[in-house]
Amino acid sequence: MRIDVVSIFPEYLAPLELSLIGKARQDGLLELNVLDLRDFTTDRHRTVDDTPYGGGAGMVMKPEPWAQALTSVAGPGAGAEKPVLIVPSPAGERFTQATAHELAGEDRLVFACGRYEGIDERVLEWAAEHFTVRPMSLGDYVLNGGEVAVLAMVEAIGRLLPGVVGNPESLVEESHSDGLLEYPVYTKPSSWRDRNVPAVLLSGNHGKIAQWRRHEQYRRTAERRPDLLEGFDAGALPRADRTAFADLGYDVVDGRLARRPADGGEPA
């Protein structure tokens, strides 16, 4: 996979030279290029922003430097598959683990790190002729620029590439891989500061361990991210799993989980 990142702060992306992503670059599993947007300006001040039409606070990133920068990484042109252009934005679609898996299957990704009040909207309209444009958000909050989001997305995508993570099984048993949060994990010693590892994990009974972990996923998800359970397919759950959900206040109705009201009425 090839990834190009355009930013006015290319040094912000230096952490991508570290850890597994850095090793993937060294091993040739991932080609990652960082471009300075200011290299595509034409004035001596290397200006990348100007005041917004219609008034208002802040500055808007100028279109021409972006057009020049994106043209330089767009690819061979007609007949070739368009690279995916990801524009971090609080107004974009939500980036999820499923999105990371989808994007890990692409050959070319380009990230456009906006700053200030954002990039002139015409850039996205123009870019649609050369890229598959996808504004994307990490969550319902605002950052100073797109670089932090790009660091997170590149790591989430890059670690899914074949060969990047040493043990592929670790990609399966983690939060959001199956729509649920990950179960708690423990290591030696078995007793630490008067806190003991759950006995089932020391039992050697792999069936019971698997069931405990699954039920802990249910408990943790219900407590921390109950929204993830709204679309959970519970139609084929075994009796023990239905009981685990019942203990958490959920019933299975028409194959879906329904939260039992606190007053004991019908499930919502």
Q: What is the pLDDT of residues 12-27, one digit of tens each?
A: 999 998 888 999 988 9
As a 3-state breakdown, the chain gives helix, strand, coil percent values, each rounded to 5, of 35, 20, 45
Which tokens is 160 given?
């899914």
pTM: 0.82
- The mean per-residue pLDDT over the stretch 171-192 comes to 78
Burial pattern 103-117, b for ≥16 Cβ within 10 A else e, equals bbebebbbbbbbbbe
User: What is residue 75's predicted lDDT score, i.e. its pLDDT?
Assistant: 72
Q: Is the pLDDT of residue 182 over 70?
A: yes
- Higher-confidence residue: 215 or 230? 215
- State residue 174's pLDDT score: 52
Q: Residue 106 carries which side chain, given as an amino acid letter?
A: E
pLDDT at 172 > cutoff 60: no
Query: Is a pLDDT exceeding 70 seen at residue 254?
Result: yes
Residues 6+ apart with CB under 8 A from 176: 96, 97, 98
Contact partners, residue 150, CB within 8 Å, separation at least 6: 5, 7, 13, 86, 88, 111, 113
According to the model, what pLDDT value does residue 268 have? 57
In this prediction, residue 262 has a pLDDT band, given cuts at 50, 70 and 90, of confident
Lowest mean pLDDT among 64-78, 101-115, 142-156, 188-202: 64-78
Mean pLDDT of 125-131: 95
User: 179 pLDDT band (50/70/90 cuts)?
Assistant: confident
Pairing of strands 195-196, 60-61: unpaired
Say if residue 115's pLDDT is above 60: yes
The predicted pLDDT at position 171 comes to 53
Contact 167, 174 (CB under 8 A): no
Check: CB of residue 119 under 8 Å from CB of residue 37. no
Nearest alpha carbon to residue 98 among 11, 176, 162:
176
Between CA 219 and CA 67 the distance in angstroms is 49
